[in-house]
Structures are given as C-alpha cells and as structure tokens.
Amino acid sequence: MTTARPRAMPPLLCVWLWAVLCLLGTAPVVADEAPGFEVESAGLDLDEGSYWLSAALRLRFSEETEAALDNGVPLTLELRLEIVQPRWWWWDAEVVNFSNRYRIRYHALSRRFVLTDLNSGESRSFARLDSLLRALSEVEGLLVAREEDLSAGERYQVRLRVRLDTEALPQPLQAVAYMSPQWRLQSDWYTWHVEP
C-alpha cells in the first residue's frame, strides 16, 4: 500500500510569488532613481514677437559623475532645440538651431554647488545637488527664436534634448567618459509640432 506524500510545492510557490510581487512593487521606485536624462514635456509660447521655451526635464546623475563633481570636476549640460520644416521632396530645412549650456561646479570651501548659464553668464548657488538639478529641470521663458524665423501657415517640427557634454570634461577624463556607460547621459529627442 502506497501513501501519498504531502506536496512541498505550494508553499514554495507562494513564497516565490510573494517575492516576485514585492520586486514588482519596488520596480517603479528603482526605475525612477536610475541615472539618466529625459525631457518629460516641452512647449513654445509666442509673446512679444519671440518664441519662449518651457520644459520639464528629469535629470539624474550616475555615481561616477557625482563623484567627479564632488572631486572638483565641472560638468557641462547642453539643452539643444531644433526647429525644422519637413519637406517631402528634399531633406528637412533647419530653421532654428538653438543651444543653451550650463556648467555645474562644486566649491569645496563653501560647500556649495554653483550653476552657471554659459549663454548669459548668470550664476546661482545651491546647498545641495538635488536642489540644483530640480531648479535646472524646470525651464521657463528661455528665448529660442524670433517670430520672423517661422512663416505663418507653415508646419514645423520642434525637437528638444538634454545631454551631458563629455567633450567639455578635462582631457584625461574624456577617454574614461567615452568608454563608460555611466557617463553617457543623454535624453531622447522630444518632438512636437507648431503652426504659427
């Protein structure tokens, strides 16, 4: 006579499912904290004969870039906007090619992070890096084009991206940045259309 052995699988299966659900529950938090750049939203406003950019960015440095910043290496970010006129018979016509660059530097003596707009020369200081990145993430009223640059009745495609400029790093660090994915911080192009 054979006796049925109790199965050990259901409790193990329950533990496994519980572990998977816990991991799935924390996945968005882990993904949100991952290093990288992203343009979350952007738009152009026409006011007083000029186009002004407003954008929301997500900026997260990697451990390597933060360590370099803490050790006195300045980091340069570039916000690039392009306005092109799509043409079916030829290459798209580039109407506006705008770039705004920002330098982030840590001053060990004052223990402050300094954000400098390299286009205007304006500087601001912050006690914490996350405060600086939060301020840099909210682009408001940045002049990118004049009203006469865009013709009325035409349809234009606008593209925006943000990236860490590794070519602005000190020469010895450029080779390291070129090889390491920790330094490849660049958003995808965020695109939308405008019709003046």
In this predicted structure, the answer to whether residue 39 has a pLDDT above a threshold of 90 is yes
Give me the pLDDT at residue 12, please: 44
pLDDT, mean of residues 12-21: 40
pTM of the model: 0.80
Hey, is 79 helix, strand or coil?
A: strand
Q: Out of 3.40.309.10, 2.30.42.10, 2.60.40.10, 3.40.50.620, select the CATH number for domain 36-62+78-103+134-194.
A: 2.60.40.10
What is the DSSP-derived secondary structure letter of residue 26? H
Q: pLDDT by residue (tens digit) across 129-188? A: 999 999 999 999 999 999 999 999 899 999 999 999 999 999 989 998 999 999 999 999
What is the DSSP-derived secondary structure letter of residue 91? S
Q: Cα separation of 98 and 81, whole Å?
A: 5
Cβ atoms of 30 and 22 closer than 8 Å: no
Domain-wise residue ranges, the chain: 36-62+78-103+134-194
pLDDT, mean of residues 13-18: 40
Chain-centre distance for alpha carbon 165: 12
Q: pLDDT by residue (tens digit) across 63-95? A: 999 999 999 999 999 999 999 998 888 888 899
Chain-centre distance for alpha carbon 34: 12
